[in-house]
Amino acid sequence: MSTVQPNSTPNGDPAASVQPESVTLSGYEVSPVYGPDVVPTTSEGDALRPADRIADPGQYPFTRGVHPTMYRSRLWTMRQFAGFGSADDTNRRFKYLLENAKGTKANTGLSTAFDLPTLMGRDSDDPLSAGEVGRCGVAIDTIDDMHRLYADIPVGDVTVSQTINGPACVIWAMYLGMARERGIDWKDLGGTLQNDILKEFHSQNEFIYPPEASVKLVVDTIEYAARHLPRWNSVSISGYHIREAGSTATQELAFTLRDGMEYVEAAMSRGLDVDVFAPRLSFFFNAHNEFFEEICKLRAARRIWATAMKERFGAKNERSWWMRTHVQTAGCSLTEQQPLNNIVRVAYQAMAGVLGGCQSLHTDSMDETLGLPTETAVRVALRTQQILAHETGVHRTVDPLGGSWFVEGLTDQMEEDANGIISTIDDLGGVVSGIHKGYFRRAIAEASYRTGQEMEAGDRIVVGVNAYTDGNDDQQVEILQIPHAVETDQCDRLDQYRAKRDADAADSALDAIRDAARAGDNVMDALVEGALARCTLGEMVQAMADVYGRYSGGPEW
């Protein structure tokens, strides 16, 4: 990337003529000053940005946003993440969030965090679940738990996001079964299933089945949503966890979008029309500390996705070209030391997400490095979004940073670098092939190691951790405790559930799930029937594992 060398300075001040050197950010140079004479170029010397690569908001390639009016007509959805203890505990927290969101012009969405056993597809009474039930999210074992989780919440009117991946199709089947039993038409259900299994192999490790079978199940949900749930986002293609594992912003951008392309290729290989399913794909990005980098990442992401959908996959529907995204502030940037400082970090990160053009936003609570968020911390996190929406004026104009020499130049550079990584993944044979070769894990580990070295050397300052440490010994916030009774009560409830159900009907439903998996059919109908027959999460997950097997990592890992 070219840099600028000004020949004069304001007011002729000789001291101001000494310009700072370019700095390296995530592997590329950032010039000390940007102006009209700084034209970003490729390594071959070609200009990176033809005029039509910016365009107006709402126009291809959507650098400036997918909607022409953006927040002037509708604020982003304030989608706060919640889940702990039992379904009843989380239901109360959902109602608390909805009550505290009253009066805002933004839509409020509920985003569900599940505990580790649920994320791994294991029932609460599985020996491997001991000590983890309800600890880092809500424990959901059955369709009855799903009824309790959303009791008295109008799920036909409130959008619901479910952060689940390995057993996503099973949890979704329970949700759909719950809606059917409540008499709610599936066409009225709006929400998002995270359901991005590829990033689990890159970073988070909450996979169950081998990559090939896992992608097949994702395509099952894409196909099922296209047929039955026109308002549902079947996959939230997630860079968030890739970044939390230590990647750079550019790696997060490239890996996430290439994962999305892998799902599109798999769905099209099944014979699905890209313009039928692609408009319901959504994305999920991290908002980290480097303010302008995060803004430019989202701008570049929209451009790369729009170009790929139009030129690589031949999509004709403009909505297929849209990259609609949820943003969450960076959990890994929060510090145990001086946790009140996290409120400031979250506010800046949230503003970056909004200036980057997100469609929904979650703000982390200040105490998340210490434990599950308290109600006070959750309220402060929600108020942060409300202050941003109603007091800062960021919604008054669309893409207020558009045309900034720095922002446009950095957007171009991130696009070029991300496209280079995408080409590398293509050369590896695609994402699944790259997983088996260990490419993603190596790249993230190397980036994380470099960040650690920078912190140890003092080249990267983290306030309260390696600088400005006065006050670190003070206890500044209360910590939410999860009683052991949550686990014992959940296991007792599960015993009673199994005792009351029709065991033969449950067994028949599990056989139908195995038959669908063995035949290569879409498993969703069988899973919904399994949920209605009172099969448990662990039983349905295992029925598919009987066919697909369980994955522990390839020999390259």
DSSP secondary structure, 331-347, as one string: GGG--SSSTTHHHHHHH
In one-letter notation, the amino acid at residue 295 is I
CB 186 within 8 A of CB 192: no
Question: Residue 338's domain is classified under what CATH number?
Answer: 3.20.20.240
CA distance 453 to 444: 14
> What's the total number of domains in the chain?
1
CB 101 within 8 A of CB 108: yes
**Tokens standing for 320?**
């297929």
pLDDT at site 111: 83
pTM for the whole structure? 0.90
DSSP H helical segments within 154-248, as ranges? 168-181, 198-199, 211-228, 240-244
Q: Give pLDDT tens digits for 106-155.
A: 566 788 989 999 999 999 999 999 999 998 899 999 999 999 999 999 88
**Residues of the chain with pLDDT > 90: what percent?**
76
Residue 50: pLDDT above 60? no
CB 443 within 8 A of CB 251: yes
Containing structural domain, residue 198:
51-73+155-457
**Has residue 400 been placed in a domain?**
yes
Residue 495: pLDDT above 50? yes
Reported confidence tier of residue 41, pLDDT bands at 50, 70, 90: low
pLDDT at site 9: 37
Q: Give pLDDT tens digits for 419-443.
A: 999 999 999 999 999 999 999 999 9
Question: What are the backbone dihedrals phi and psi of residue 140, each rounded to the nearest 5 degrees, phi first?
Answer: -130, 115
Q: Give pLDDT tens digits for 57-85.
A: 999 999 999 999 999 999 998 887 778 88
On the question of a cis peptide bond just before residue 61, with omega within 30 degrees of 0, the verdict is yes
**Has residue 167 been placed in a domain?**
yes
Mean pLDDT of 219-235: 96
Mean pLDDT of 37-42: 55
Place of tokens 């007509």: 73
Reported confidence tier of residue 14, pLDDT bands at 50, 70, 90: very low
3-state secondary structure of 286: strand
pLDDT at site 17: 40
pLDDT at site 485: 92
CA distance 336 to 367: 8
**Has residue 322 been placed in a domain?**
yes
CB 394 within 8 A of CB 350: no
CB 123 within 8 A of CB 497: no
The average confidence (pLDDT) of the chain is 90
pLDDT at site 40: 54
pLDDT at site 13: 42
The candidate with the shortest Cα–Cα distance to 143, out of 115, 169, 177, is 177
**Residues of the chain with pLDDT > 70: what percent?**
89
Calculate the CA 179 to chain-centre distance: 25
**Has residue 137 been placed in a domain?**
no
3-state secondary structure of 325: strand
36 burial (CB, 10 Å; 0-12 / 13-18 / 19+) is exposed
**Has residue 6 been placed in a domain?**
no
Calculate the CA 449 to chain-centre distance: 23
**Cβ–Cβ contacts within 10 Å for residue 66, how many?**
21
Place of tokens 């991300």: 418
**Has residue 418 been placed in a domain?**
yes
CA distance 180 to 364: 33
**Has residue 489 been placed in a domain?**
no
Question: What stretch of H or E contains 391?
Answer: helix 375-391
CB 176 within 8 A of CB 125: no
Reported confidence tier of residue 469, pLDDT bands at 50, 70, 90: very high
Q: Give pLDDT tens digits for 368-416.
A: 898 888 889 989 999 999 999 999 999 999 999 998 989 999 999 999 9
Q: Give pLDDT tens digits for 288-347.
A: 999 999 999 999 999 999 999 999 999 999 999 999 999 999 999 999 999 999 999 999
**Has residue 482 been placed in a domain?**
no
Burial call 125-144: b when 16+ CB within 10 Å, e when fewer: bbeebeebbbbbbbbbbbbb
In one-letter notation, the amino acid at residue 172 is W
pLDDT at site 300: 97
